Each structure stands twice: as structure tokens, then as C-alpha cells.
Amino acid sequence: NTRVLTGITTSGTPHLGNYAGAIRPAINASREDNVDAFFFLADYHALIKCDDPMRVARSRLEIAATWLAAGLDTSRVTFYRQSDIPEIPELSWILTCLTPKGLMNRAHAYKASVDQNVAKNVEPDDGVNMGLFSYPILMAADILMFNANKVPVGRDQIQHLEMARDIAQRFNHQYGAGRDYFTLPEVHIEEEVATLPGLDGRKMSKSYNNTIPLFEGCSKLLKAAIARIQTDSRLPGEPKDPDESHLFTIYRAFAGQEEVAAFRQQLLDGMGWGDAKQALGELLENTLAPMRERYNELMSKPDRIEEILQEGAKKARREATPFINEIRQAVGLRNAV
Ligand code: ATP
């Protein structure tokens, strides 16, 4: 069986990008035969970027409710919260001790922060915590803990996944004595899944505060967010370039082929941005409204969500607990039995 693993950081309200780029393709994949899916709330990862406890707590509920409202079937999928699995940070530490610092120096997420600091003329490591520096190792632990062999990621994560492979190989080589403890994960880029731009044109991201929330609020708030998507200054009647338009990129992620082709033509024919926003608003409302209803229902039952997460953690630990014991033995922390 193929093992698919995906996590979402609990650092804010889930947005259209999380849904189209991660949740929807993951749920579709989990419905296929011969697939074991592991989906998790990456709450340790959230602490790297978010020091607001209320936000982390709220986000945990919102992201759990989003997965469930989007159609996750917990009887097929192992659905858990990272911090319910103590074996993950333990594995992360063990892997930390065999990861060269130089590898982490090259990690994109860290380098991006350093580059920003250099551009601002401040100390390169200003505001960089050790979590950010070594987060590819925690990510490697997330993946290797469950021997996932298929990890769907956005393009920004390809390098981190390669690092997970590198770390797995180092472990197998150093401690394996002929046994491959860890499966080497493969990157899986969903070619048809675009990175959705946010309101300001950068990648839509919880940490940039440029998102269109998926379910939070009502249809009116959704429309208000859509109204804020950046467009160019071309007037109604002037042809628009769909391939340069953030609005079109978002539309394309939610519409069927024919609708997309028709919308593209309308933009080329000079549809005004106001009408284009209205069309996007209707498309999203029709797609999201039924899920939003389930979402609101779930959000009113946090205890039920907690119960589901506890069941998921039990299921995940049935694998993680014996496996971490083998890893402890491999590195000499326990005697082989
Ligand atoms: P953060 O800012 O906390 O990193 P994020 O909103 O960028 O949050 P993550 O929680 O890191 O998202 O990512 C969860 C999943 O959602 C990943 O698989 C990621 O590739 C996907 N994803 C995030 N943003 C987008 C986007 N704008 N377009 C498509 N997919 C996205």
C-alpha cells in the first residue's frame, strides 16, 4: 500500500490555498484503494511562527473541523494531532543528532528569513528561533515516523522533503546494520494544483495575513475578502490577461474545465474586474456553502472534535510506540530484547 502523509500547521484560519493545495487532493487520494493516509494537525510546527496561545488553540479546532467538513473519513484515515504523539519529538531529537548543521543552513525557510534580515540591514539571525532553523528535522520525523512514502507538498517544500530523504539515508547507513529502518519518502507534486496567490499577490499563507478564509464567517465576508483581491487597473471593456490575474488563478482552482475556459474568454473579451469578482464569489459560495454548514456544526462541538483526535492519536501510536522502541534500540538507548 502507498502511505500518504499531509499536515497543516495550526497557526491560523484555514484558507482557500490550504483547501485547494492540500486538503482536497489529500482527501481525494485517501479514497483510493491501496492507500493508507495519515493526516495531522501540525501544532508543534505552529509554535515556530506563532506565539499567541489563543490563536494556536483556535486554529487547532478550525483546522480539525475543516478536514472533517471537507469529507475526511476517519475510519479510513489516521487523523491525529502531532503533539498527541510524543514519539515524534523524540524521533526528531534523535534525527537532530545525526543531521549536519550545514544541511540546515541551506534550508529555504531559514535562508529566506536570513535574506530578509540582510536586506533590512539587521543581524542575519535576528528573530530566527531554533525551531525555524531546524524545522526540516521535525518535518522529517513527522514523515519517517510513519514510513510515509508519498508526501504531497507545494513546490516550496520540495527541498525540505529532500532533506528528509537525506536524513533517513544517514540513519539507515549509520545504524541500520543491513536494515532500512526508514522508507525514503517521495515528493509528490500535484501538477494540476496551483499555488494560490493571496490578496496581496504573494502566496496565500496564514503567516502573511493575506488569506481568503475557507469557512470562517458567512457568504458576505467571503465576498468582502474577494473584493480585496488585487487586480490591475484595466477598465471594463479592456481585455484582461487571465494568466497574469490572481483572481483567475483562484477561479481555476475551484471550477470545472468548461467553466474555466468560458471565464478565460470573458476576461479576454474585456469583462470588468467587478463582474469577475462577482463570478468568483458565486463559484466559491456554491462550492463552499454545504461544507461551511458542516463546519459550523462541528465548531459548535469542540468536545466531539477532541474525541476524534484522541481516537486518531491512539491509532497513530499503535505504530509509533513500537517503532520508536526499535529506533531507541538501534541507537543504543535501550537494549535489544
Ligand atoms: P503557514 O503560513 O503557517 O506556513 P500556510 O497557510 O502557508 O501556513 P501550511 O499550513 O504550511 O500553510 O501548509 C499546509 C498545506 O497547504 C501545505 O501542503 C501547503 O503546500 C498547502 N498550501 C499552503 N498555502 C497554499 C497556497 N497558497 N496554495 C496552495 N497550497 C497551499
pLDDT digits 0-9 by tens, 230-249: 999 999 999 999 999 999 99
Cβ-contact 302, 61 below 8 angstroms: yes
**CA 302, chain centre distance (Å):** 22
127 has binding-site annotation:
no
Residues of the chain with CATH 1.10.240.10: 217-297
Sheet strands (E) in 114-272: 150-152, 186-188
ipTM: 0.96
18 has binding-site annotation:
yes
Q: Check pocket membership of 22 for ligand 1, CB cut-off 6 A.
A: yes
pTM for the complete prediction?
0.93
Domain 217-297: homologous superfamily in CATH: Tyrosyl-Transfer RNA Synthetase (1.10.240.10)
Cβ-contact 79, 27 below 8 angstroms: no
Q: Cβ contacts of residue 73 below 8 Å, gap of 6+?
A: 30, 31
- Please report the atom of ligand 1 found closest to the CA of residue 6: 18
Distance 22 CA to ligand 1 centre (A): 7
pLDDT digits 0-9 by tens, 251-262: 999 999 999 999
Give the CATH fold of the 2-99+134-196+302-331 domain.
Answer: Rossmann fold (3.40.50)
Residues of the chain with CATH 3.40.50.620: 2-99+134-196+302-331
Over residues 193-218, the mean pLDDT reads 88
Q: Cβ contacts of residue 217 below 8 Å, gap of 6+?
A: none
Query: 26: buried, middle or exposed (CB in 10 Å: 19+, 13-18, 0-12)?
Result: buried
Q: Count CA atoms within 13 Å of residue 120 on its CB side.
A: 12
> Any idea what the Cα angle at residue 248 is, between residues 247 and 252, rounded to 5°?
125
